[in-house]
Amino acid sequence: KGCTGPCNPLLDRRTHHTLRMVSRWRSKLGNEFPREEIEHLDSYHRRQLDKIRKLPENRRCADCGGHGTVWASVNLGVFLCMNCGARHRGLGTHITLPKGCTGTYLWGPDEIHQMMAMGNERAKQIYGADDHRPKEGASDVEWLTFLREKYELTKFAPRDGVRIPDQGIEGSIGSSKCDFAHTMTSTGTQEHSFFAEFGL
């Protein structure tokens, strides 16, 4: 539509640029980053996420053991199959923060940090539960009960296992204002340095 009053195209472009510069993107873990930086680093973040997801221990779903991990619980740091990803969506955000690993989802450096720091193998040492999975053909109600007992009540946690982290957003590794929020650059230099420590 044309301008209904005095119109300054240059001013409009400058305003649009300013709005993009100040636009913020909020991760599942509650940290905020400049949206322009997150969008700029999207392809790099996706490559790192895929490398983590394709590690042998992360190729099978952390909950049912099925192949194909296309979802993740960001605060729990586990990779999930499509079915279990849908089940996590029904658990409530006080327990789990599910997010797709494919498609158009943007991922923040704090979220990838969380997936690196945990992963399915370490989560198994913390939460256990492999021997308590619902049988094949179990209803969604049975699965949701199992998942609540596993992650919220930590009912299956090995007594001599890794220390159980606090639940929910406040207890996640990425819940504090991580250094990325202050050190991200348009070239991604800080992140490349960080990921290099993990051999990625």
Phi, psi of 58 (to 5 degrees): -105, 5
pLDDT value, residue 103: 82
Q: What angle do CA 95, 108, 70 make, to 5 degrees?
A: 60
CB neighbour list of residue 190: distance below 8 Å, 6 or more residues apart: 179, 180, 183, 184
* Burial classification of residue 152, based on how many CB atoms lie within 10 Å of its CB (0-12 exposed, 13-18 middle, 19 or more buried): middle
User: pTM of the prediction?
Assistant: 0.75
Tell me: pLDDT of 14 over 80: no
Quick check: 41 pLDDT over 50?
Answer: yes
pLDDT value of position 50: 97
Residue 167 has pLDDT above 50, yes or no: no
User: Does the pLDDT of residue 47 top 60, yes or no?
Assistant: yes
For the CA atoms of 174, 177, 180, 181, the dihedral, rounded to the nearest 10 degrees, stands at: 130
- Whether the predicted pLDDT of 165 surpasses 90: no
Whether pLDDT at 152 is above 70: yes
